[in-house]
Structure 1
Amino acid sequence: MKVWLLAALVIALSGTTARAADPRYPDWPCTQAKVPEISLAAVWAGPPLDDVQNKWKDDARVSALVAKLAARKTPLDEAEKSVKEFLAASGSDKTANAKLLFAGLFDTLNAQRSQVMNGLERVSRKQREAADKIREETLQLHTLQGATPRDEAKVEALSNELIWKTRIFEDRTKVVRFVCEVPTTIDQRLFALGRVIQQEME
């Protein structure tokens, strides 16, 4: 692909990202709306969690289970099975343990979401800077190509640099599109696990 076509692709991609962003969150690169935090009311209809707050961290069994359930490498069906087994073995402490478990999941998965979203916005800022640099160097290349006499070594060096930078930009754009799905996946995981916890409490 010719250098100018690659540069045009970068400009098009960066323009798409800019249009997709919510005006309230100028660095947000995803087509999905940015929801900074999951609302507790949206994922939990069980008893109030005010009395457990951060107490889940003090329970070694609960905190270990929260870490396992929150890990995206743990298949959701396996996570749901672990919730059922844990609460079934809780006896008279079932309600208290269920609340601790969900409080831990809510805190942990919200923190995961924030990390992912902050990372996406950092990459978005880098992509904007990269697109600006590519535009600037494309103009420099046009000037070099039209110069008389033409310095072929400089033209080739800048062409190669533009190709390399544009490919990095493209690769990052693909990664961003993939990572943009992660907050939604976390939302779905928390909702599903919350539903199982509430069902087991009944």
Structure 2
Amino acid sequence: MKFLPHLLAIVFTGVSPLYAAGSHDPDWPCVQRRVDTLSAAVMWPYQPESQAAKEKPAAATAELAQLLALRRISLEEAEEALDEAANGTPALDRDDYNAIFADVFERLNQRRSLLMTGITRYARNQARLADEIDTMRNQIATMTAAESPDFDQIDQIEADLDWRERVFHDRALSLTYACETPVLLEKRLYAIAQMLAARIND
């Protein structure tokens, strides 16, 4: 499928530390390479200290992980929530931090995957709309070049074309914003991993 140039308006500076190698997807409209699944090992080098930790109930950490995964919670607020939990009773240990990271990673990675699927579907619809716009432009050019142009019909097609172009432009702006969202989720996940790891190292 083809895409008009301003579909690629997003500017991505630098390479996210969360990206692994991925193949080029012709239907992916964003500048950054599409990687469907992130690698937890890139961000989190720690493992549970014991096998029993894998059987530890998640209730003690699930609520905190859910809070950290919310985008409406700023990183400063996340830091404060972690400080409060770390200073609570009982104190958090390495296995707790492992559990918190695993939970946050699963939540944000799943959210990111769903978002990327939606971006691809959205971009395909944009590509179809771009094809329709090209077809209508060619139709207008052909009709205008005829010996006896039907100007009333040409005016109707031009009005429809103008509406479609406005829709295309508005959707392209939304797509540009959508392309930034997976990157924001990755940055949040990486920042939270750093917060958790810093407490293990303390």
Shorter chain as denominator, the TM-score bin is 0.7 to 0.9
Corresponding residue number in structure 2 for 1:33: 33
Report the Cα offset of residue 50 of structure 1.
9.8
In the other structure, the counterpart of 1:164 is 163
Q: Please, which moves more after superposition, 101-110 or 66-75?
A: 66-75
Output the TM-score relative to the length of structure 1: 0.80
- Equivalence map 1:101-120=2 (5 Å): 101-120=100-119
What TM-score do the two structures reach when normalised by structure 2? 0.80
* Cα distance between partner residues in 2 of 1:183 and 1:15: 15
CA contact (8 A) 2:9 2:176 kept: no
**Structure 1: tracts of 5 or more residues without a match:** 1-9
User: Structure 2 vs 1, CA of residues 102 and 130 (structure 1 numbering), >3 Å: closer, same or farther?
Assistant: same
Tell me if structure 1 keeps the 8 A contact 2:28–2:123. yes
Aligned equivalent of 1:6: none
**2:158 is the counterpart of 1:145:** no
CA deviation profile, 1:81-103 (whole Å, cap 9, x unmatched): 21222232253552232121111
AA aligned to 1:160 is: A
Measured in 2, the distance between the counterparts of 1:141 and 1:50 equals 72
Say if 1:88 and 1:94, in contact at 8 Å, map to a contact too.
Answer: no
1:52 Cα deviation after fit: 8.8
1:71 Cα offset (Å): 1.6
Change (3 A) 1:23 1:141: farther
Q: Distance in 1 between matches of 2:108 and 2:52?
A: 17
Contact 1:37 1:114 in 2 (8 A): yes
| Cα distance in 2 between the residues matched to 1:93 and 1:199 | 13
CA shift in 2, pair 1:121/1:49, >3 Å: farther
Moved over 6 A (4+): 52-56
Q: Cα–Cα, structure 1 residues 123 and 31, in superposed 2: closer, same or farther, change >3 Å?
A: same
Task: Report the structure, 1 or 2, having the larger helix content.
Answer: 1
Q: 2-side partners of 1:90 and 1:117: how far apart?
A: 40
Distance 1:119 1:172, change over 3 A: same
1:110-156 deviation per Cα after TM superposition (whole angstroms, max 9, x unaligned) = 11110111111111111111111111111111122223432222111
SS in 1 for 2:73: coil
Partner Cα separation in structure 2 for residue 97 and residue 72 of structure 1 = 22
Any stretches of 5+ residues in structure 2 without a counterpart?
11-21
Q: What residue in structure 2 maps to residue 185 of structure 1?
A: 184
**Paired residue type of 1:59:** A
CA distance in 2, matches of 1:149, 1:201: 80
Contact 2:68 2:78 in 1 (8 A): yes
